[in-house]
Chain A
Amino acid sequence: SQQGEEDPQALSIQEGENATMNCSYKTSINNLQWYRQNSGRGLVHLILIRSNEREKHSGRLRVTLDTSKKSSSLLITASRAADTASYFCATDPKAAGNKLTFGGGTRVLVKP
Chain B
Amino acid sequence: DVKVTQSSRYLVKRTGEKVFLECVQDMDHENMFWYRQDPGLGLRLIYFSYDVKMKEKGDIPEGYSVSREKKERFSLILESASTNQTSMYLCASSFDHYSNQPQHFGDGTRLSIL
Q: Are B100 and A50 in contact (CB under 8 A)?
A: yes
A62 to B70, CA, bound (A): 38
Q: Are B103 and A42 in contact (CB under 8 A)?
A: no
Any A CB within 8 A of the CB of B75: no
The answer, among B31, B42, B102, for a CB contact under 8 Å with A33, is B102
- 5 sample A-B contacts, Cβ–Cβ < 8 Å, listed by A number: A2-B42, A48-B102, A104-B40, A104-B42, A105-B42
The B-contacting residues of A in range 22-66, CB under 8 angstroms, are 30-31, 33, 35, 40-45, 48, 50
Q: Give B residues with C-beta under 8 Å from A.
A: 4, 31, 33, 35, 40-43, 45, 48, 50, 58-59, 90, 92, 94, 96-98, 100-108, 110
A45-B102 contact in complex given A88-B42, A98-B94, A99-B48, C-beta closer than 8 Å: yes
How many residues of chain A get a CB closer than 8 Å to chain B's CBs? 25
The 3 lowest CB-CB distance pairs between A and B, nearest first, are A97-B97, A42-B105, A45-B102
A1-B59 contact in complex given A41-B107, A44-B105, A102-B42, C-beta closer than 8 Å: yes
